[in-house]
Structures are given as C-alpha cells and as structure tokens.
Amino acid sequence: MGESKAKILRRLEEACRARGLPLTAQRRIVLEELLRRTDHPTADQLFEAVRTLSPQIARRTVYRVLDTLAELGLVRRVHHPGAAVRYDAKTHRHHHLVCQRCNRIVDLENAELDRIPLPRGTWHGFTIADFSVQLIGLCPACRKLKKSIP
C-alpha cells in the first residue's frame, strides 16, 4: 500500500533537510499536484496544472523540480517507449496497465506480479534495483471506440 500524502510531504522535508536543499514552494506544489493525480502526467501536463495555482512558475522550473524529486526518490519516472516521460508519486512497487491507443496509464496493485523473482547479481551487466510490469492493451474507452468503428 502507498503512504499517506502527509507522510510523503514529510519525507520531502526530511530529504531536503538531509541534503541541505531548501524546501521551496515549487518543490512542494509540484509534488502535491502529482500526489493528487493518478494519471501519471508528463512534465508539461504538470506544468499546465501547477501554473493555474502559481502563475509565475516557469516550465523549466517544473522540469528541474521533477529531476530533483526523482533523485530524492520521491517520484518515479515511468518510461513508455515512444511517449514523453510520465511521472508517478507512487514509489512503492506496483505495475501499470498501459493503453496503446491513448497512452492512458492506470496503476495496478497485484501481489502475484510483485512476487516475480528478481535475478541475483547482475544481468547483462545491469544490477537490478526493482521492477514494474507494464501490461499493454486497450483501455475501456478505446475498446468502446473500436467497437463503434464499422
């Protein structure tokens, strides 16, 4: 299960303090926006949302904040080939249902997938930190759309 929002914001405070980084309003606002959402937004989508709350924020600031949050382990980058990097405030192990038509990403918690054994040591020279399974297909809206095509 995930952590509460308050707990994650406390982790942000602690991580910033430990690294001697200021807990800027921008860091907090970007993380709060990401915590509020489950759609795994891109940096640009986060920028558009955050700008309505904090009109003076710059796009490059949002990009930089996301890099910092990822470095601090407070957000994860979800890589989906062929699309912009998407961000996730859920950093515990979980999986994703990915729509190949509209690029929608939905979280999937599944104990069976969690138990896939990780290889010990290195694999092809990579040390393995964690894993996430992407199940690729069509979301309900896109399935409906497909059916309506004659």
30 touching Zn ion, by CB under 5 A: no
- Closest distance to Zn ion from the beta carbon of 102 (Å): 3
101 touching Zn ion, by CB under 5 A: yes
Instruction: Determine contact, residues 77/85, Cβ cutoff 8 Å.
Output: yes
Q: How open is the CA angle 144-85-15, to the nearest 5 degrees?
A: 125
In angstroms, rounded to a whole number, what is the distance separating the alpha carbons of residues 116 and 128? Answer: 13
Nearer to Zn ion, 31 or 139 (CB): 139
What mask of x and - would describe binding to Zn ion in positions 39 to 78, judged by CB under 5 A? ----------------------------------------
3-state SS, 66-131, equals HHHHHHCCCCEEECCCCCCCEEECCCCCCEEEEECCCCCEEEECCHHHHCCCCCCCEECCEECCCC
3 touching Zn ion, by CB under 5 A: no
State both tokens at 28. 């907090």
Which residues in the 128-147 window bind Zn ion by CB under 5 A? 139, 142
Instruction: Determine contact, residues 43/85, Cβ cutoff 8 Å.
Output: yes
- Closest distance to Zn ion from the beta carbon of 129 (Å): 16
95 touching Zn ion, by CB under 5 A: no
- Closest distance to Zn ion from the beta carbon of 60 (Å): 25
In angstroms, rounded to a whole number, what is the distance separating the alpha carbons of residues 16 and 134? Answer: 31
Which residues in the 102-121 window bind Zn ion by CB under 5 A? 102, 104, 107
In angstroms, rounded to a whole number, what is the distance separating the alpha carbons of residues 94 and 2? Answer: 10
- Part of the chain binding Zn ion (CB under 5 A), chosen from 2-10, 57-65, 86-94, 120-128: 86-94
Binding site for Zn ion (CB under 5 A): 88, 90, 99, 101-102, 104, 107, 139, 142
